[in-house]
Structure 1
Amino acid sequence: MALTLIYCIFLISLPAMFQVASYPSSSFPMHGHGHHQKQQQVSSPSIQLPRTLARPPFAEASREAILAAAPELASVPAEYIRRGLRSRANEMLAGISVLSGSHLPSSMPRSHMQATISIPIRPTQAPPTYPTHVLALSSSKSSSDSVMLFPVHSLILASHCASLPRMPPPASPPSTTLHLPVLPFSLPSPAAFSILHTYMYNHRLDSVLKSLFPLPAGFLQSLSHHTVQTTLSSGTTLHQLSAYLCSSAGSNLHTLTSHAAHVKELWQDMVALGLHDPELWDTIDLAWEVVLGALNLAAKGH
């Protein structure tokens, strides 16, 4: 699936001096659903970074997709479905864990893919909630024959992602073999999807940030959406986090640019999937502010 991005980030070679916009003196504006954030793109001869990462217009999850995954929820709003799924996260993640490793490879050549993947399972008294499908992700930015495989529950994807194609119907309930229909899909960064895959189940903002770059353990402990929003409006706290990140990278511009690339790839995947989670979007905003600040500090030599 091709994705046309309004704003691109070109991470090529770094100049001797690198400059991005510093923190504004006032609070950062919070983004709302359905609004594009006006961007002031900053650049140098060999690198360009947008001041902020744009959010596409809000689009709710497809009612048709939800209906295909769970007909009994036809009249339930998507937001209520997402909240209800949180209480089942552990049993669904347990079902995914059973398939990890030798049962389901993490990747395979696209040419070897079939419409269904069959996996033997052991009957138990209290079986976990097994995945219903396998997402086979290829990169929209390369011609690699390899696809990454993610066992998923169709209702999780259908209720979170507005831009997924219609999923194949699930197989019959498992007995001794699990038959998982395969859904091929293309994303800018299949590797970055692993962060989103976990988040759609556990909704842990600290795990998202830890997957992107180092931050103080005290800040990440019990991280809430309120903490994220408060931090976004505090130039002092943002500076402290940027200084920590800059120090952890040894003020190395190449390392910090790699961190920026990881945030950018996660953002691109969210846009491509139509994943409109306000808490996650604010967390991506926070990650971007911190990494831009760290790049500024490294470029200025503190």
Structure 2
Amino acid sequence: MIRALRARNFSKRPTENTPPVKPAPKSVRRTRTRKAKKNITAAKSDAEQAKKKAQKTAQPVRLNVVFYGNANGGADVEMQELPSTSQHPAIVPVTLPRALNQPPVSEPSEEAIAASTGPSYCGQPAAFVRDNLESSGPRSLRTLCSVVTQVDSAVLPKELDIVVNDPAATDYPTHMLAVYAPVPKKPENAPATWVPPKTDVKMYPVHSLFMAAHCAKLGPFPPSPTAFESSPASNEPRSITLPVRPLCLPSPSTFPYLLHYFYLRREEVLFRAFFPCEFSTEFVENCTSEEEIRSLATHIGRTFNPSVILKHAKVIHGVWQNACALGAFDDALWMAIDSAYEVIINALAIGTGNPRAVYVAKSPSPPMQA
């Protein structure tokens, strides 16, 4: 995982007689799987659209979760900070949205992609660019993970010196993202001496093209000395200076999960953060299957404390918030968010002994068996 660099002073089964066929490489199998997911039938597509339309008008899911420690006076918990733990249990009413709805789809502008591609850009659409970046994503991500830097200033710098320690690196990061949360509003009854808390800023090295191709709501990145450069691999660390771009996000703590997905485009990257346990290959390949969702939700609901499950719901919610804020509309990304959230809210309903809650909120569909 990319390490956040924290600023110091910032607060078919085969037919008979058919010879065996050599299995395709994993990368090819993944590509075929993704294409199969995209080429769904019109009937299935219509069913999915109808399901999403129904979810938009669904009632919130209301459950009672046992916490240990301060229960916020019994107030509803709506994806806010969870109570701290101690030895004193308390039952807290929790309200969750029935579904995390996707905003209207849009694609990154040609201007933004051109700024990160350079003279080689010939008007290719963002989806084409994303598909072409997929082969280089893992290599580029390893380069990012090798970056080290240090921020000593109490003021956010415009440029930052970094060291790339990846000896096989050829495409260096182009920018440093300074990710932070919105400044909280002043409470209505706050005293005159109230001051907002210090802003905690974390630095992430990125390749601007990966961000530009995935994020429709990001404007063009400023010029960078490494933007269109491809250097030969070197056994020595390389020091470079990168421009810093501030980025305000609703959930800074979950940004690394989304960033990893941009580079790898593998649902497993998100599922590892979304679930408190391992998941089957069958679930990854058929994550929209009601049977697979029911199976995993039942396992999680029976195995983990509801307060643990709720923390993972908060992670999914954070990634969803960031995806909306950035304008990320990759099909597999939203498939992962939708299916994972369906698993978690059902698991939470099972874990709290109220498996009907999710379906009561949605429709008169039969309840999930706990």
Identity of aligned residues (%): 30
User: What is residue 314 of structure 2 aligned with on the other side?
Assistant: 261
CA–CA separation in structure 2 for the residues paired with 1:200 and 1:297: 33
**CA shift for structure 1 position 239:** 1.9
Structure 2 residue 159 is the aligned partner of structure 1 residue 97? no
**Is residue 250–residue 321 contact of structure 2 (8 Å, CA) maintained in 1?**
yes
Equivalent residues of 1:41, 1:49 under 8 A apart: no
- Give ranges in structure 1 of 5+ residues lacking alignment: 1-26
Distance (Å, rounded) in 2 between the aligned partners of 1:57 and 1:123: 39
Contact 2:143/2:164 (<8 A) preserved: no
Q: Which residue number in structure 1 is paired with residue 241 of structure 2?
A: 179
Match of 2:107 among 54, 60, 64: 60
Residue 223 of structure 1 corresponds to 284
Letter in 1 for 2:346: G
Provide the C-alpha distance between the structure 1 equivalents of 2:199 and 2:337, rounded to a whole number of angstroms. 30
Match of residue 113 from structure 1: 156
**CA distance in 2: counterparts of 1:297 and 1:123, whole angstroms:** 46
**Would you say 1:295 and 2:348 are equivalent positions?**
yes
Q: Which amino acid aligns with 1:81?
A: V
Is the 8 Å Cα contact of residues 41 and 48 (structure 1) preserved in structure 2?
no
Alignment of 1:42 with 2:60, yes or no, is yes
**3-state secondary structure, aligned to 1:41:** coil
What's the secondary structure of 1:192's corresponding residue?
helix
- For the pair shown, which has the larger CA radius of gyration, 1 or 2? 2
Given the alignment, which residue of 273, 293, 311 partners 1:211?
273
CA 1:210–1:111: 2 relative to 1, 3 Å? same
- Which residue does the alignment assign to 2:327? 274
- Structure 1 counterpart of 2:116: 69
The TM-score normalised by the length of structure 1 is 0.77
Q: What's the offset of the Cα at 1:205? A: 0.6
Write out aligned runs for 1:233-252 (5 A): 234=290, 236-249=291-304, 252=305
| 1:190 is aligned to 2:252 | yes
3-state SS in 2 of match to 1:56: coil
The answer to whether the aligner puts 1:131 opposite 2:173 as a matched pair is yes
CA contact (8 A) 1:228 1:286 kept: yes
Whether 1:140 aligns to 2:182 is yes
Paired residue for 1:86, among 134, 140, 154? 134
Which residue among 28, 34, 48 is the counterpart of 1:30?
48
Q: TM-score normalised to the size of structure 2?
A: 0.63
Partner in structure 2 of residue 168 of structure 1: 222
Number of residue-to-residue matches in the alignment: 260
User: Quick check: 1:138–1:185 contact (8 Å CA) kept in 2?
Assistant: yes
